[in-house]
Amino acid sequence: MKSHKAVVKVMRPKEPEGDIAPLIKQVLEKLGEDTAREGLARTPQRVDQALKFLTSGYRTDIRKILNGALYEVKYDEMVVVKDIEFFSMCEHHLLPFFGKMHVAYLPNKKVIGLSKIPRMVDVFARRLQIQERLTQEVAQTIQEVARPLGVGVICEARHFCMMMRGVEKQHSGAMTSAMLGAFRDRKETRDEFLALVNKSTGY
Ligand SMILES: [Zn+2]
């Protein structure tokens, strides 16, 4: 008897593998490199994978992640997550910038699962960015998803495009901030946030 077993193919949206590699090979050749030498043989493939990882934030729906991690609470004190490390790439030079982000918000009946905040920072950092937009996107996303009374984000970063190219070597650190709602309107809220960020946690 003929089998009528259905063949189910699982279709997963997947990026084409290695499609950037030949382009990287061309770049290396343009730079005068011998792409056949041992050290470079697998480099196009590695760069392909690295670039896809470093831009994986484009393919992650952060709102979905956050919506699944909202909790009703009576708590109405400031929530602060400080010293969130991040690594991103500047969209002007495709060079890394990295640093720390401090995120705070004043809950309005809802809090976001604490681990989701560093996760969100990663999602936005793993895109081509400028520091100002990265800071704004984190603040605005919290505002939109959790509807808190206010959000404050401070970002300190060092930029390879300044450090490596010899531009402003001494001042390669930059600070940006985004203050929304109560953090913008109320000096006491902003001051409380800044005091908590500056206070050593003793760890
Ligand atoms: Zn740059």
At 85-97, the pLDDT tens digits run 999 999 999 999 9
Q: Is the pLDDT of residue 56 over 90?
A: yes
Q: Is the pLDDT of residue 203 over 80?
A: no
In this predicted structure, what is the pLDDT of residue 3? 55
What is each CA distance from 182 to 53, 83, 93, 147, in whole angstroms? 36, 22, 36, 12
Q: Is the pLDDT of residue 18 over 90?
A: no
**Which pairs count as long-range contacts for 189-193, CB under 8 Å and 24+ apart, including other chains?**
189/78, 189/106, 189/150, 189/152, 190/152, 192/78, 193/78, 193/80, 193/102, 193/104, 193/152, 193/154
160 alpha carbon – ligand 1 mean position (Å) = 7
Q: Is the pLDDT of residue 16 over 90?
A: no
The C-alpha atoms of residue 168 and residue 181 are separated, in whole angstroms, by 34
In this predicted structure, what is the pLDDT of residue 199? 80
- Tell me which residues have their CB within 5 A of the ion that is ligand 1: 90, 92-93, 161
Q: Is the pLDDT of residue 201 over 60?
A: no
For the entire predicted model, the pTM comes to 0.86
Q: State percent of the chain over pLDDT 70.
A: 87
Catalytic residues: 90-93, 131, 159, 161
50 alpha carbon – ligand 1 mean position (Å) = 18
Q: Is the pLDDT of residue 77 over 90?
A: yes
In this predicted structure, what is the pLDDT of residue 168? 65
Count of beta carbons in the 10 Å neighbourhood of residue 160: 16
177 alpha carbon – ligand 1 mean position (Å) = 18
161 alpha carbon – ligand 1 mean position (Å) = 5
